[in-house]
Amino acid sequence: MGTGRDMGTGRDFCGTENKEKNMILEEFDENKRAVVNPDNLITLVEGMPKTAVTCFSGNTFQRMLKNFGGEKIAETMVANMEIPVYKTTYKGVDLALFMSDVGAPACIAVLEDIYAMGVERVVMFGTCGVLDAAIADCSIIIPDAAIRDEGTSFHYAPPSEEIVVNAKYIGAFKEMLDHIGCSYTVGKTWTTDGVYRETRAKVAKRKEAGCICVDMECSAVAALAQFRDKDVFQFFYAADNLDGETWDMRSLGNLEKLSEKDKVALLAMDFAVGIEGEE
């Protein structure tokens, strides 16, 4: 199958040099309006809570609905499925609940719609792979920066290798965890959309750059929130281990360590209540 490259000349079929072709991700446009915008498809939802909690695991999300209850008040969709949005009341505070799709492009499209519905702040949690074997399975990781090894964030922020994550809420979340005696690790994440291209050389390079984990959405979520002037807090619970001679899946499977994952969901709900009360 053709690649659109003339391997003999080092140019593509349009005649531009490879270096120029690789600059496409530097074409950031700060204009907030695009050809298609969230408000072309989504309207404000009456009664939509200002704070939402979301995760990526379908099994975890269904248990959240069972544990916390929820009334469907809206929906959005990605190309191949609907994304229901629920309203629940937890500790006397109204919160929205929805499930995020995996991967930066789909995750960001759904978040754009959620913000357009009237949500102002989102607490997001999900798994990550660890680049440090000392980080325990299912333990909490708080990213404070992300390497942008995905394409979506470059449409929401000027080009850079890294982006700051969680600046607004990281202190409050750490305080909450310290108060309840929950251990955690703070550090940089490597956000990549090449899940099967996390090679040993790349893992080593990212570790040298200070990364302690790898995920698929974090840098893009941070860029979107900054671009739209919305709030988001992201945290992970550790899953598979990439820091070894062989890959260790650990609790990556959706049916592993369910009670531990339910405790992580509870952290997200408690934190959402806390930041809602502060606004």
Is residue 27, in this structure, part of any structural domain at all? no
Q: For the whole model, what pTM was predicted?
A: 0.91
Q: DSSP character for 167?
A: T
Does residue 2 lie in a domain region? Answer: no
In a domain, 185, yes or no: yes
Domain count, the chain: 1
Q: How far is CA 225 from CA 33, 66, 134, 165, 219, in A?
A: 15, 29, 31, 10, 10
Mean pLDDT by 10 residues, the chain (279 residues): 35 42 84 97 97 96 96 93 96 98 96 98 98 97 98 97 98 98 98 96 98 98 98 97 95 84 97 88
Q: Which domain holds residue 110?
A: 34-278
- Identify the CATH number of the domain in which residue 139 sits: 3.40.50.1580
Q: Could you tell me the two tokens for 246?
A: 């062989």
- Residue 54 counted as domain residue: yes
Q: Is 36 left (phi over 0), alpha (psi -120 to 50) or beta?
A: beta
Of 84, 35, 32, the closest CA to residue 224 belongs to: 32
CA 149 and chain centroid, separation: 13
In a domain, 210, yes or no: yes
Helix/strand/coil percent split, the chain, to 5: 35, 30, 35
150-161 per-position pLDDT tens digit: 999 999 999 999
Is the residue at 19 inside a domain? no
